């Protein structure tokens, strides 16, 4: 967890804002704007080896980015918080213009990379324009399936973790089972689960829950087990009963560990989700990828991968927001 | 009116009387019994301030844990106001060397811990405010423990104890980890808190000067297994003065009992 770099902490934004408070002109922004104008010109003016639709839309998009950067560069700090964020990512805007141009050249313009395995930017844009409905539905089904599985898995893992962390008897019986079954990848259950459960959907919910529950259980358990014993002594001398010790001492003290478990569980649940959708469930982004491969629609696969990356990243961002809010008492939290 | 008056009169709860009768205690350490208390026997008058002085690790802290009811003695009896100490009870509160505040709770919520655990917080919120004011931390209600200095944290720990209006305050080297200046200030504050609350205070310390400056009576313990080697009465009124020649005299006596007479 500690290795995740803080890309946009509050202080970094403030720093970026305070570095050039007086500068009315933002040179990096102007260069980036010029680069995006160049990208637009390259897309529009250099003929493609095989003509493709949506080149003009892509060029228009590049011009919009260029315009945005130019406006921010000219108006300085007037743009508020959004402008500050754009300024912070100035070098990234410049770099991405270069990447898009290079990608455009080696695919659509010269065909250096073999078509159709490598798709040009406009062919991916084409997927978003022409197939957005199917992509959108796939995202909806993926999120729905993931939410069900993750919810039950996180809940089961948390309850199991608290129980075995608190009760010696529960730990005696559950620990060996956990040691044997836990490390088994949830995907190994896939053939059996599809056979046992009435629908592939319920089987997938079970598998995602299983994949989520293991890390959540282990981390919750270790969190409860590592609570400073003095906290209990203090609470007991102040008149606390066992329920108070569990809910007001053990669980809050273990919460930082629980969130590490929830984070790890979310990661493994993505893997199981995609595999389950590829092998059994007839909906979702995993299914879309499989379907696109069947039609050799490589551009659709790149588009779906991009959407999947955005989906996973957004879900992790949400988890981190919830954690930051719940653990606001801690200092030096890693930001996502 | 009469009911009210008696209630008022009872409010500054008198301290508890402590009777410790032939208490011995031992731990199991890797299967071997490790005796820590050897036939300890003494009583403490209600409302007095007693210091237990002795070398580190001699078993004084164990005695406090027994008094708090956190552990049960191997042999002997501890009673408070004539009743044998069983489970922990909020009328007897232990303050540890580490403040051990709950880091996920604000200062206010930490102080409110006992009232919340006893289920009386809703009707006694003002007691939390009063306790925070008493230890001089007004305005820090919403601060989290990691934002406090060592001295402030220990004040919060004291407020967390005092808010329960304990009748017996067990202090386990509460100033042990503070810097020496904060320590001197807090010693004076401890005395005035004790005087205001009218409770019995038992202080465990290995600081001879602190024991003599704060308490009315100093019990000196020998090395483990702890037994009482001397019982010194500190016959000086409060507020005391560190330069008092009588304190120096007593200090010399105490050091003698601790086997440190040669350092005088």
- B-chain residues within 8 Å CB-CB of A239? 88-90, 114, 117-118, 164
**Tokens of residue B86, six digits:** 């069983």
pTM: 0.81
Query: How far apart are alpha carbons B207 and B200 in whole angstroms?
Result: 20
- What sections of A47-199 are H helices per DSSP? 55-75, 80-88, 90-104, 121-130, 132-166, 168-181, 190-196
Strands of B200-205's sheet in order across: B92-95, B168-172, B200-205, B49-53, B217-221, B228-233
What is the rounded CA–CA span in Å between residue A189 and residue A149? 15
A61-71 pLDDT, tens digit per residue, is: 999 999 999 99
The secondary structure element, H or E, covering residue B32 is strand B32-44
pLDDT of residue B13: 53
Both structure tokens of A179:
């040691």
Average pLDDT score over residue span A2-13: 44
A293: how many CB neighbours lie within 10 A of its CB? 13
Whether A304 contacts A274, CB under 8 Å: no
Quote the tokens at residue B197: 């609350």
Interface test with B, best of A226, A229, A230, A234 (most B CBs within 10 A): A234
Given a cut of 50, whether residue A22 has pLDDT beyond it is: no
Q: Is B70 helix (H, G, I), strand (E, B) or coil?
A: coil
Beta bridge partners of B168: B92, B200
Mutate to test the interface with A, among B66, B102, B119, B165 (most CBs of A within 10 A): B102
- The stretch A235-244 carries a mean pLDDT of 91
Residues A328 and A94: their CA atoms lie apart, in Å, by 35
Separation of alpha carbons B143 and B159, rounded Å: 15
* Range scoring the smallest mean pLDDT among A15-29, A279-293, B56-70, B112-126: A15-29
Cis amide leading into B5 (omega within 30): no
* Spatial distance between the Cα atoms of A272 and B258, rounded to a whole number of angstroms: 68
Mean pLDDT, rounded, for A315-322: 93
Confidence class for position A108, pLDDT limits 50, 70, 90:
confident
Q: How confident is the model at residue A335 (pLDDT cuts 50, 70, 90)?
A: low
What pLDDT sits at residue A332? 58
What is the nearest CA distance from A232 to chain B, expressed in angstroms? 10
List the one residue out of B116, B95, B206, B205 whose CA is nearest residue B159: B95
Two tokens, residue A199: 């629908």
Cβ atoms B151, B182 nearer than 8 A: yes
Query: If pLDDT is split at 50, 70 and 90, which confidence band does A331 have?
Result: low
pLDDT of residue B202: 94
Note the pLDDT tens digit of each residue in A42-61: 999 898 888 888 888 999 99
The SS3 call for residue A197 is coil
Phi, psi of A269 (to 5 degrees): -65, -35
Mean pLDDT of chain A: 87
Q: Which neighbouring-strand residues pair with B78?
A: B20
State the residue for tokens 């964020």: A85
Q: Which of left, alpha, beta for B73 (phi over 0: left; psi -120 to 50: alpha)? A: beta
Is pLDDT at A1 greater than 50 in this prediction? no
| Nearest in space to B111 (alpha carbons), one of B158, B79, B152, B67 | B158
Residue with tokens 């959407």: A307
Rounded Cα distance, B169 and B15, in Å = 9
Q: Count the helices and strands in chain A (H runs, E runs).
A: 15, 0
Q: How many CB atoms lie within 10 A of CB B30?
A: 5
User: Which residues are bridge partners to B218 per DSSP?
Assistant: B51, B232
State how far the Cα of B165 lies from the Cα of B115, in Å rounded to an integer.
10
Which pair of tokens denotes residue A136? Answer: 């959108």
Q: How confident is the model at residue A135 (pLDDT cuts 50, 70, 90)?
A: very high
Instruction: Give DSSP secondary structure letters for B38-49.
Output: EEEEEEE-TT-E
Yes or no, beta carbons of A329 and B144 under 8 Å apart = yes
The answer to whether the CB atoms of B68 and A237 lie below 8 A apart is yes
- Site of tokens 């237990």: B52
Nearest to B113 among A230, A235, A329 (CB): A235
Mean pLDDT of A281-298: 90
Segments of chain B scoring below 50 in pLDDT? 1-12
Burial of A292: CB neighbours in 10 Å, binned 0-12, 13-18, 19+: buried
Which among B96, B105, B114 is the nearest to A238, CB-wise? B114
Residues in B closer than 8 angstroms to A228, CB to CB, are 100
Of A238, A240, A330, the CB nearest to B93: A238
SS3 (DSSP) at B94: strand
Rounded Cα–Cα distance for residues A267 and B99 (Å): 38
How far apart CA B239 and CA B88 sit, in angstroms, is 33
Among residues 74-133 of chain A, which lie with CB inside 8 Å of chain B?
none
Judged by CB atoms closer than 8 Å, whether chains meet at B94 and A241 is answered as: no
Residue A78, token pair as written in the block: 């007037």
- Nearest CA-CA distance, residue B59 and chain A, Å: 18
**Cα–Cα distance measured from residue A96 to residue A36, given in angstroms and rounded to the nearest whole number:** 9
Contact B255, B248 (CB under 8 A): no
Dihedral angle computed from the Cα positions of residues B183, B185, B188 and B191, in that order, rounded to the nearest 10 degrees: -60
Q: Which residue of B has its CA nearest to A241?
A: B117
Q: Given pLDDT bands bounded at 50, 70 and 90, which one contains residue A152?
A: very high
Helices (H) and strands (E) in chain B, counts: 9, 10
Q: Please tell me the predicted confidence (pLDDT) of residue B177.
A: 81
Flag if B100 and A231 touch (Cβ within 8 Å): yes
Which of A239, A259, A329, A331 to probe the B interface (max B CBs under 10 A)? A239
Instruction: Compute the nearest-CA separation of A69 from chain B (Å).
Output: 41
What's chain B's average pLDDT? 86
Contact between A39 and A104 under an 8 Å Cβ cutoff? The reply is: yes
Count other C-beta atoms under 10 Å from residue A198's C-beta: 7
Q: What pLDDT band is residue A2 in, cutting at 50, 70 and 90?
A: very low
CB atoms within 10 A of CB A317: 12
Chain B contact for A238, CB < 8 A?
A: yes
pLDDT tens digits for range A162-189: 999 999 999 999 999 999 998 899 889 9
Question: What is the per-residue pLDDT for B82?
Answer: 85
Flag whether pLDDT at A24 surpasses 80: no
Alpha carbon distance B152, B99 (integer Å):
9
Of the candidates B69, B117, B144, the beta carbon closest to that of A240 is on B117
What tokens were used for A52? Answer: 């493709």
CA proximity to B19, closest of B202, B216, B173, B218: B202
User: What's the rounded mean pLDDT across residues A86-101?
Assistant: 93
């Amino acid at each position: 967890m500690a290795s995740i770099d803080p890309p946009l902490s509050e202080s970094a934004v403030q720093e970026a804002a305070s570095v050039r408070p007086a500068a009315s002109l933002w040179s990096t922004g102007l260069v980036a704007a010029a680069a995006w104008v160049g990208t637009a010109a390259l897309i529009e003016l250099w003929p493609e080896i095989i003509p493709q639709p949506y080149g003009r839309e892509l060029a228009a998009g590049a011009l919009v980015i260029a315009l945005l950067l130019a406006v921010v560069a000219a108006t300085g700090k007037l743009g508020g918080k959004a402008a500050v964020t754009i300024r912070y990512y100035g070098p990234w805007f410049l770099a991405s213009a270069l990447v898009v141009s290079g990608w455009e050249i080696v695919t659509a313009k010269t065909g250096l990379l073999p078509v159709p395995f490598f798709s040009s930017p406009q062919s991916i844009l084409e997927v978003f324009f022409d197939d957005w409905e199917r992509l959108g539905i796939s995202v909806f089904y993926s999120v729905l399936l993931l939410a069900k599985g993750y919810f039950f898995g996180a809940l089961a893992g948390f309850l199991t973790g608290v129980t075995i962390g608190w009760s010696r008897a529960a730990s005696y019986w559950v620990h060996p089972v956990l040691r044997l079954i836990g490390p088994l990848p949830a995907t190994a259950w896939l053939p059996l689960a599809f056979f046992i459960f009435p629908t592939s959907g319920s089987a997938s919910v079970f598998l995602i829950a299983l994949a989520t529950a293991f890390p959540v259980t282990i981390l919750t358990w270790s969190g409860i087990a590592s609570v400073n014993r003095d906290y209990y002594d203090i609470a007991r001398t102040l008149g606390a009963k066992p329920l108070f010790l569990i809910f007001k001492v053990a669980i809050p003290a273990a919460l930082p560990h629980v969130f590490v478990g929830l984070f790890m569980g979310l990661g493994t649940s993505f893997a199981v989700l995609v595999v389950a959708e590829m092998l059994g469930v007839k909906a979702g982004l995993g299914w879309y990828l499989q379907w696109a491969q069947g039609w050799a629609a490589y551009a659709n696969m790149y588009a779906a991968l991009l959407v999947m990356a955005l989906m996973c990243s957004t879900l992790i961002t949400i988890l981190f927001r919830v954690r930051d809010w719940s653990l606001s008492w801690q200092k030096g939290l890693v930001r996502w | 009116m009469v009911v009210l008056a008696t209630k008022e009169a009872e409010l500054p709860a008198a301290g508890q009387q402590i009777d410790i009768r032939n208490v011995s205690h031992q731990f199991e350490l890797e299967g071997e019994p490790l005796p820590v208390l050897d036939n300890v026997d003494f009583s403490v008058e209600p409302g007095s301030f007693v210091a237990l002085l002795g070398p580190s690790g001699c078993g004084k802290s164990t005695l406090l844990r027994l008094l708090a009811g956190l552990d049960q003695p191997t042999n002997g009896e501890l009673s408070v106001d004539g009743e044998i100490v069983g489970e922990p009870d909020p009328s007897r509160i232990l303050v540890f060397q580490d403040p051990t505040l709950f880091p996920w709770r604000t200062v206010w919520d930490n102080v409110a811990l006992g009232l919340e655990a006893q289920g009386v917080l809703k009707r006694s919120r003002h007691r939390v405010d009063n306790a925070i004011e008493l230890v001089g931390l007004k305005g820090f209600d919403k601060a989290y423990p990691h934002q406090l200095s060592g001295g402030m944290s220990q004040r919060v720990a004291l407020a967390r104890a005092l808010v329960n209006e304990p009748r017996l305050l067990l202090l386990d080297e509460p100033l042990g980890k503070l810097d020496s200046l904060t320590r001197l200030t807090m010693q004076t504050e401890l005395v005035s808190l004790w005087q205001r609350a009218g409770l019995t205070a038992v202080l465990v310390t290995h600081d001879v000067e602190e024991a003599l400056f704060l308490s009315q009576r100093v019990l000196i313990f020998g090395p483990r297994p702890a037994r009482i080697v001397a019982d010194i009465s500190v016959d000086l009124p409060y507020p005391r003065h560190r330069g008092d020649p009588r304190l120096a005299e007593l200090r010399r006596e105490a050091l003698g009992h601790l086997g440190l007479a040669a350092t005088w």
